[in-house]
Amino acid sequence: MLTQMTYREAVRAALRQALRSDPRVFLMGEDVGRYGGAFAVSHGLLAEFGPERIRDTPLSESVFVGAGIGAALGGARPIVEIMTVNFSMLAMDQILNNAATLRHMSGGQFNVPLVVRVATGGGRQMAAQHSHSLEGWYAHIPGIQVLTPATVADAYGMLLAALREPDPVFIFEHATLYPLEGEVDETAEPVEIRRAAVRRSGSDVTLVTYGGTLGKTMQAADLLAQDGIEADVIDLRTLRPLDRSTILDSISKTHRAVLVDEAWRTGSFAAEISAQIMENAFDDLDAPVARVCSAEVPMPYAKHLETAALPKVEEIVSAAQELISRHG
Amino acid sequence: MATTSISERTTVDREHGLFLLREMLRIRRFEEKAAEMYSLQKIHGFLHLYIGEEATGVGTMQAFRPEDAIVATYREHGHALARGLPSTVLMAEMFGKATGCSHGHGGSMHFFDVSRRFYGGYAIVGGGLPIAVGLALADKLQNKQRVTACYFGDGAVAEGEFHESLNLAALWKLPVLFLCENNLYAMGTALVRHQAQTDIALKAASYGLASQAVDGMDVLAVEAAAKQAADAVRNGNGPVLLELRTYRFRAHSMSDPDLYRSKEEIEEWKKRDPISLFESRLREWRLLTEVDGTRLEREVAAEIDEAVRFAEASPFEPVEELLKDVSGPLKC
């Protein structure tokens, strides 16, 4: 049964579902309780589940992420919320050195079933300490999984699926998506998180994206269609482990790829995809892989500058057109 | 804050006294053998010896039950031995063998044992404290009356994670026993050169923890303080911190030339060697004979020889299994 709701409500519905169905699950983070969450995701959960399971933490990212790791080791199923990806840097020691290593370092004796939700991305005039897209950094780390739900249905389904994973899962929720409307089937089976989704089918060019830039990429595909160019739009959904085959299958059909990534171009996840395409589909390509990324600048505050720094629909359109006109 | 020394008014029965002495000797001889194996290039990487600090690990470990959890540091050979991890699998781990307690993935700094709830050696200073807080949180949420013991050194006191962890544990009244083994040096930097306030027990008190400084060279004083503290933690009175004042006789690691402290200082501390201190006390109390001493040394030497033999004879993990423990099935 499909229910209309926002992305924010979908995350909340998944949290509620998890808290109801598994007594080991609890939520902790900054202002998740009384305040209701910085993005109002956990609004109302404190009243329903009480302060033992909806835990407001001090502004101590390192200890509350580390405590999530410890609680997971101790048999609980913690969900940790980090208010923005920039704040997650304060917990990087626990994430990289502990969460990602414990299974391996212990010779497989321990695992860390921890879910961390992180708000990410720009577009809200939050300037240079609240707006970056660092998912690609996380995707660099073996031992953790990196999920980037881009739709309302995935906001719900991927969180529930993450809770069934034996190893740490990081879910990046692009903050501009919270008001997005969509449909969720709360009775459906848990979603598959290891497959990318083809959000639109076409045979002229492949547009690969994830998270907050799916909307812009779909708009670009609409504009391209008006021009007679049909795009395959791939929503990666999960950056690690990466579903490479969906990308390669598409390229074997379109022979061209534009990668759209809100991270800075240098060392971006788009660079990784580009390398994998080159390694695995070089002979399928009719044109060099193109990238549309953020400008190499800390995120500016002023709206016109922020817009200029972020990937734009027109850039995606012209990148695709250029691949076709110059290498048609 | 005054250092408590309980031995003057505490006695011990012969059996337990000899047990404590044996445990400290096992660590001392194991460490000496590890140093020898390092120079023979059987052990590689970092090797941080615990020699001089045996009373803190052995004394505190008497306070814990099998259901309790232990979180330790990269200088954790003593804790692992005192917790009951066999010397064979520890030596094998340092040899990088598949039979090691972490299958050769961790080495000297990363001992783990799920069956003994030994949650590892952490080699980022302060990095184990948040883990211990989380283990205790899980116990609280699951209404389990267990203690999480969290070992760290004076160097960790400078890390943000120390302050974050003490605050959160006290705020949520979590059952953690913080055990600061203050050996006066953060690698080569003396406590007085890295802390404006050098009284670590006092720092803990400022976060609302019950805390106490203990003579870390006196195994009975350590044991008594740890038992009292563990009882309080187990009974739900919130976290406690013990500052165990001790000293490391050997360099920070095998690659440390030990240039930052004087020979005189080291010799002065060696006069309070926790093993000889306890031996003379046991003799004084007529609980240790010459024959006992010889027998203990012989038995410990046999155990350590067996550990080396086991490590030597053990196979390496096949390289085909390189990626097997990166992700996988549910275990906890």
Out of B133, B167, B327, closest to residue A66 by CB = B133
pLDDT for residue B5 = 55
A9 & A139 share domain: yes
pLDDT for residue B332 = 64
Assign residue A283 the CATH number of its domain. Answer: 3.40.50.920
Give the DSSP letter of residue A190: P
Asked if residues B47 and B38 have their Cβ atoms less than 8 Å apart, the reply is yes
A95 & A44 share domain: yes
Pair of tokens at residue B189? 């930097």
Q: Is the pLDDT of residue B286 over 60?
A: yes
Torsion over CA: A296, A298, A302, A307 (sign)? positive
Torsion over CA: B147, B148, B149, B150 (sign)? negative
Q: Is residue A192 part of a domain?
A: no
Mean pLDDT calculated for residue range A289-298: 98
Residue B137 CB coordination number (10 Å) = 28
Which residues of A are less than 8 Å from B332 in CB distance? Answer: 72-75, 110-111, 113
Q: Is residue B324 part of a domain?
A: no
- The owner of tokens 């400022």 is B206
Q: Say yes or no: B273 contacts chain A, CB-CB below 8 A.
A: no
Assign residue A58 the CATH number of its domain. Answer: 3.40.50.970
- The owner of tokens 């998180």 is A193
Note the helical H segments in chain A: 7-21, 45-49, 61-73, 92, 102-105, 135-139, 152-162, 214-226, 244-254, 269-281, 303-309, 313-327
Q: Say yes or no: A106 contacts chain B, CB-CB below 8 A.
A: yes
Asked whether the beta carbons of residue A74 and residue B69 sit closer than 8 angstroms, the reply is: yes
Asked whether the beta carbons of residue B327 and residue A76 sit closer than 8 angstroms, the reply is: no
ipTM at complex level:
0.95
Q: Is residue B332 part of a domain?
A: no
CA distances A161 to A170, A245, B121, B253, Å, are 12, 21, 31, 45
Q: Helix-strand-coil percent breakdown of chain A, rounded to 5?
A: 40, 20, 35
Which among A205, A263, A106 has a CA at the least distance from the CA of B118?
Answer: A106
Residue B269 CB coordination number (10 Å) = 18
Note the helical H segments in chain B: 14-39, 54-61, 77-83, 87-94, 128-141, 160-171, 191-194, 200-206, 219-234, 263-270, 274-284, 290-313
Interface test with A, best of B109, B117, B124, B131 (most A CBs within 10 A): B131
pLDDT for residue A311 = 98
Q: Is residue A191 part of a domain?
A: no
Ramachandran angles phi, psi of A200, nearest 5°: -160, 140
Judged by average pLDDT, the poorest of A237-241, A324-328, B88-92, B316-320 is A324-328
Domain end position, chosen among A122, A155, A185:
A185
B329 confidence band (pLDDT: 50, 70, 90): confident
Q: What is the DSSP string of A122-169?
A: --SS-GGGS----HHHHHT-TT-EEE---SHHHHHHHHHHHTT-SS-E
Mean pLDDT calculated for residue range A283-289: 97
Asked if residues A85 and A132 have their Cβ atoms less than 8 Å apart, the reply is yes
Counting the structural domains of chain B, the total is 1
Domain that holds residue B204: 3-311
What does the mean pLDDT of chain A come to? 97
A32 & A80 share domain: yes
- The Cα–Cα gap between B121 and B151 comes to 9
Q: Is the pLDDT of residue A246 over 50?
A: yes
A177 & A248 share domain: no
Mean pLDDT calculated for residue range B5-22: 82
Torsion over CA: A66, A70, A71, A72 (sign)? positive
Mean pLDDT calculated for residue range B211-224: 97
Domain end position, chosen among A140, A163, A185:
A185
Percentage of chain B with pLDDT > 70?
A: 97
Asked if residues A158 and A106 have their Cβ atoms less than 8 Å apart, the reply is no
Asked whether the beta carbons of residue A66 and residue B134 sit closer than 8 angstroms, the reply is: yes
Mean pLDDT calculated for residue range A173-180: 98
pLDDT for residue B176 = 98
A70 & A172 share domain: yes
Q: Say yes or no: A238 contacts chain B, CB-CB below 8 A.
A: no
pTM above 0.80, yes or no: yes
Q: Is residue B122 part of a domain?
A: yes
Judged by average pLDDT, the poorest of A86-100, A250-264, B1-15 is B1-15
Pair of tokens at residue A57? 């933490």
Which among B10, B1, B5 has a CA at the least distance from the CA of B215?
Answer: B5
Which residues have a Cβ under 8 Å from the Cβ of A227 and sit 6 or more positions away?
Answer: A321
Asked whether the beta carbons of residue A104 and residue B326 sit closer than 8 angstroms, the reply is: yes
Q: Is residue B121 part of a domain?
A: yes
Q: Is residue B319 part of a domain?
A: no
Which among A246, A313, A322 has a CA at the least distance from the CA of A286?
Answer: A322
Domain end position, chosen among A159, A185, A211:
A185
Is residue A310 packed enough to be buried (19+ CB in 10 Å), middle (13-18) or exposed (0-12)? buried
Mean pLDDT calculated for residue range B141-167: 97
Q: How far is A162 from chain B (nearest CA, A)?
A: 13
Interface test with B, best of A22, A60, A97 (most B CBs within 10 A): A60
B255 confidence band (pLDDT: 50, 70, 90): confident
**CA-based nearest residue in chain B for residue A94:** B127
Which residues of B are less than 8 Å from A53 in CB distance? Answer: 141
Counting the structural domains of chain A, the total is 2
pLDDT for residue B1 = 41
Q: What is the dihedral of CA A268, A273, A275, A277, to 10 degrees?
A: -160
Domain that holds residue A146: 2-185
Q: Is residue B143 part of a domain?
A: yes
Active site residues of A: 61, 130
A170 & A229 share domain: no
Which residues have a Cβ under 8 Å from the Cβ of B206 and sit 6 or more positions away?
Answer: none
Asked whether the beta carbons of residue B135 and residue A72 sit closer than 8 angstroms, the reply is: no
Mean pLDDT calculated for residue range B191-213: 96
pLDDT for residue B87 = 98
Asked if residues B244 and B180 have their Cβ atoms less than 8 Å apart, the reply is yes
Asked whether the beta carbons of residue B135 and residue A66 sit closer than 8 angstroms, the reply is: no
- The Cα–Cα gap between B83 and B119 comes to 11
Digit-coded pLDDT (tens) for A44-67 = 999 999 999 999 999 999 999 999
A188 confidence band (pLDDT: 50, 70, 90): confident
Ramachandran angles phi, psi of A5, nearest 5°: -160, 170
Interface test with A, best of B85, B163, B168 (most A CBs within 10 A): B168
B8 confidence band (pLDDT: 50, 70, 90): low
A251 & A159 share domain: no
Mean pLDDT calculated for residue range B204-209: 96
B126 confidence band (pLDDT: 50, 70, 90): very high
A89 & A172 share domain: yes
Assign residue B282 the CATH number of its domain. Answer: 3.40.50.970
A310 & A265 share domain: yes
- The Cα–Cα gap between A255 and A282 comes to 9
